């Protein structure tokens, strides 16, 4: 992981240096849903995952089943209603098995963003907030330290609906869309 840095200071003529250990081969992934509902506080639902066996040929990212389980948990335990997904073009999002799962459930509607359009994805704003707040200028001593920091940072964002609303506003998208009526 590239170390996220923010502004710092040093005496004139002395360049600040941050020393970190060599790159780790351990991997941590996070999937998140930015949830917006008219009349309710916006929220983030997230699932971090440590990949411990990827050196032995294991997966280094979320599998389609992880996304499926996140959607089921969000629907049944946290949102209690239909879900409209607006997804980027990550290869797992387009996996045929995940598409079949989505097509088989009437409580999920899925739209894909255009290719290479992170500026239209509100979750990218969440990642930006996370990197600039809890991760900046931090050299993590081990994966557990990173995981604790990620969870803490996401919890702080999770309970500040105005930040999550700002991520949606930054995309130019809205929670309501006007549909063209059939003639």
The CA-CA-CA angle for residues 7, 154, 112, to 5°, reads 100
pLDDT band at 68 (very low <50, low <70, confident <90, very high): very high
Residue 18 lies in a domain: no
Q: What is the pLDDT of residue 10?
A: 80
Does residue 176 lie within any of the structural domains? no
With bands split at pLDDT 50, 70 and 90, how would you rate the model's confidence at 13? confident
Tell me the residue range of the domain where 124 lies.
27-169
Q: Is residue 175 part of a domain?
A: no
CA distances from 22 to 6, 43, 141 (A): 20, 36, 11
Alpha carbons 143 and 146: distance in angstroms, whole number: 5
CATH label of the domain that carries residue 82: 3.30.420.10
Q: Is the residue at 180 inside a domain?
A: no
pLDDT higher at 3 or 159: 159
Residue 50 lies in a domain: yes
The more confidently predicted of residues 60 and 166 is 166
- Does residue 120 lie within any of the structural domains? yes
**Is the per-residue pLDDT at 60 higher than 80?**
no
Q: What is the pLDDT of residues 134-183, one digit of tens each?
A: 887 777 778 888 889 889 999 889 888 899 889 888 888 777 754 443 43
Q: Tell me if 88 sits within 8 A of 112, measured CB to CB.
A: yes
Look at the chain and report how many structural domains it folds into: 1
Residue 95 to residue 152: CA distance in whole angstroms: 31
What is this structure's pTM?
A: 0.74
In a domain, 116, yes or no: yes
Q: What is the pLDDT of residues 88-132, one digit of tens each?
A: 888 899 999 999 999 999 999 998 888 888 888 888 999 888 888
Residue pair 91/64 in contact (Cβ under 8 Å)? The answer is: no
Does the residue 20 lie in any domain? no
């Amino acid at each position: 992981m590239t170390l996220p840095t923010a502004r710092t200071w040093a005496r004139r003529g002395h360049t600040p240096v941050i020393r970190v250990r060599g790159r780790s081969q351990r991997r941590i992934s996070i999937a998140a849903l930015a949830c917006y509902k008219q009349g309710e506080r916006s929220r983030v639902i997230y699932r971090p995952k440590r990949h411990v066996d990827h050196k032995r040929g294991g997966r280094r990212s979320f599998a389609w089943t992880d996304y499926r389980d996140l959607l089921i948990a969000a629907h049944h335990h946290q949102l209690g209603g239909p879900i409209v997904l607006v997804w980027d073009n990550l290869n797992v999002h387009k996996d045929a098995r995940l598409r079949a799962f989505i097509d088989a459930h009437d409580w999920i509607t899925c739209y894909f963003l255009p290719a290479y359009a992170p500026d239209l994805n509100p979750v990218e704003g969440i990642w930006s907030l996370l990197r600039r707040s809890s991760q900046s200028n931090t050299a993590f001593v081990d994966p557990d330290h990173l995981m604790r920091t990620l969870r803490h940072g996401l919890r702080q964002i999770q309970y500040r609906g105005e930040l999550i609303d700002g991520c949606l506003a930054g995309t130019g998208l809205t929670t309501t869309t006007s549909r063209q009526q059939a003639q």
